Structure 1
Amino acid sequence: MTRPIIFTDLDGTLLDFSTYTPDEARSSVARLQQENIPIIFCSSKTRREQEPYRTHLNISDPFIVENGSAILIPHQYFTPPIPEHKRTEAYVVIELGNPAEAIRHALAEIRRETNLTFDGFSDLTEEAVRQITGLSPAQANAARAREYSETIVTSLSNLAREKIATALTARGYQLLSGGRFLTVTSAQTDKGRAVTLLTHLYRQRDGKVTALGIGDSRNDAALFAAVDHAYQVQKPDGTWEPIPDLAIHRVPAIGPAGWNWVAENCITQKHPFSTRTPPYAGV
């Protein structure tokens, strides 16, 4: 088997669906790190939301933020360094999406054009975000610190959602359905594009690598399509969310327990990574 690299969703996958903690998977993360297997977060979460989990788990690999809107790579991670990209004190940033300020401007125009009323994280106070999400003050502020997207928290009718989606499409944006809320990003960005670019960088450096993807929902479909082997963990009720037309291995465990299953099989090579399960129909 070639060297594996793991791209993972966070909420409901590496993180417990209810507590948002990665503690159940912590020992598996440590074992993967002992085997020098990269663990790459690929989530709708912001940079500020993801960084505490990286620190908590001692992960120093690149990560993908806001549904593929940007790839953040620690300095000197790849040699030679990646040229011609934005640089911050900590990262080389490959920006694939538009700035959040432009998205918020587009949403303001759509409100005026459609006479629809809806709120995003940026429209709410930290306290309001806390009440809606159950997050701590620090987590709420991190969730509001969106650099390439906006989260719509208002419950919308199907008709209102269609109107907003149509208006966004005309402006070069897309409306994505997450676990609880709607997310607006640039139309040209998704998790899959970011995964493909980052996998290419690993292959340039390391030669042959096998990309594994772990997720739990339709929001991970682009991630699943971009990796060599895709693994879907169960929802808290023990079911798998239907994702048609993709070759995905359904893991027989919920959230972090399923994540541990994939990690164990990756380390021990018990699972036949050389083959993919056939596409399944939604259930």
Structure 2
Amino acid sequence: MPPASQTSMIAIFTDLDGTLIDFDNYSSELARPYVHRLIKLGYLVIFCSSKTFAEQRVLQEEIDIEMPCIVENGSAIIAPPGFWNPEFVDFDVVDGWQRIVLGKPAAEIRQRLRRVECKFGESLHGFSSMMTEDIASVTGLDIGSARRAQNREYSETLSAKLPQDVWESLDSAFEYEGLKCLPGGRFHTVIDSQSDKGAAIRKFGELWKAQSSEPLISFGLGDSENDQELLENVDWPHLVKRPNGSWAGLSGRRIERVNGVGPKGWVKVAEQLLSKAKPEATV
């Protein structure tokens, strides 16, 4: 891990469920003070998960931060007002936030998904077709949080419980429809085949380079197979343990396997970063 530098920007791209927040109770309490200390040093802490912008924004407000985020598995990059310079970066503005869309609209994703389901012969139980109360039941979320998880703009979450080999047998059908089906900690997510967390991180880096002469040094933290692309596209990738104490079977020799489950592992990486900063900067 390199020492902090005053001549570069450090960006920490982090998954959420099972990484920055607890897998079981969705709490950010453990990592929260470390997020604040890193941001105080001038680092970017960028959420990069399957969660919607509404979900990620609520978590940002809970932690009391305002940072760019990558939503719905890389389908869009959304930044607070003034983050991107319109002279160098093209974006749309939605409720004041700067939005760069990389994926396809959810309506188109769902239309293609229905064709996959027809070939499969049964429903894959997308969140959009479920009652919000049922989503709350299967996720453990309250109704408001379940509604935010349901209202996806560029993807669809699937709650079907199928053996791994069955999911793999569907890959060709998803690919034929221009879709990608990604396994997460609890559910599968369907997105545009041209979108993923890694592609969004690369795009973020390109946009940063377009408007800043300050080099970007990237760190990544994840916990599951869904984070493969995230970790492949950062300079310093870190994999935290899953709730059962094991590491996900991700490939890549550069990945540092952190001896800590979820947020406990996240905090260990944050402590390493803070230890590399100048002492006066951590006070």
Q: TM-score, normalised by structure 2?
A: 0.90
1:266 counterpart residue number: 273
Whether the 8 Å contact between 2:182 and 2:189 is mirrored in structure 1 is yes
Q: Which contiguous aligned blocks of 4+ residues in structure 1 show a shift greater than 4 angstroms?
A: 80-83, 157-160
* More relative contact order, 1 or 2 (CA 8 Å, 6+ apart): 2
- State the AA in 2 paired with 1:34: K
Moved more, 169-178 or 199-208: 199-208
What's the CA shift string for 1:198-217, capped at 9, x where partnerless?
12333442512210001111
How far apart are 1:113 and its partner, in Å? 3.5
2:39 counterpart residue number: 33
How far apart are 1:114 and its partner, in Å? 3.5
How far apart are 1:126 and its partner, in Å? 0.6
SS, match of residue 195 in structure 1: helix
What's the CA shift string for 1:149-168, capped at 9, x where partnerless?
00111112456434532222
Asked whether 1:182 is paired with 2:196, we answer: no
Cα distance in 2, alignment partners of residues 197 and 20 from structure 1: 28
How far apart are 1:123 and its partner, in Å? 0.6
Moved more, 235-244 or 134-143: 235-244
Cα distance in 1, alignment partners of residues 221 and 165 from structure 2: 33
What's the CA shift string for 1:33-55, capped at 9, x where partnerless?
21111100000111111111111
Whether the 8 Å contact between 1:225 and 1:246 is mirrored in structure 2 is no
2:81 counterpart residue number: 75
SS, match of residue 20 in structure 1: coil
Map 1:1-283 → 2, pairs under 5 A: 1=5, 2-80=8-86, 83-158=89-164, 160-203=166-209, 204-269=211-276
How far apart are 1:4 and its partner, in Å? 1.5
Cα distance in 2, alignment partners of residues 75 and 133 from structure 1: 32
Whether the 8 Å contact between 1:39 and 1:59 is mirrored in structure 2 is no
Cα distance in 1, alignment partners of residues 271 and 256 from structure 2: 15
Cα distance in 2, alignment partners of residues 83 and 243 from structure 1: 33
RMSD (Å), alpha carbons:
1.7
Cα distance in 2, alignment partners of residues 40 and 195 from structure 1: 10
How far apart are 1:77 and its partner, in Å? 1.0
- State the AA in 2 paired with 1:196: R
- State the AA in 2 paired with 1:266: L
Cα distance in 1, alignment partners of residues 118 and 203 from structure 2: 37
Which 5+ residue runs of structure 1 have no aligned equivalent? Answer: 271-283
Cα distance in 2, alignment partners of residues 24 and 152 from structure 1: 29
Moved more, 256-265 or 72-81: 72-81
What's the CA shift string for 1:63-95, capped at 9, x where partnerless?
000100100012211335554332212222111
SS, match of residue 260 in structure 2: strand
Q: TM-score, normalised by structure 1?
A: 0.90
Whether the 8 Å contact between 2:90 and 2:100 is mirrored in structure 1 is no
Whether the 8 Å contact between 2:180 and 2:191 is mirrored in structure 1 is yes
- Judging changes above 3 Å, is the alpha-carbon distance between structure 1 residues 4 and 85 closer, same or farther for their aligned structure 2 residues? closer
Question: What percentage of aligned pairs have identical amino acids?
Answer: 38
- State the AA in 1 paired with 2:199: R
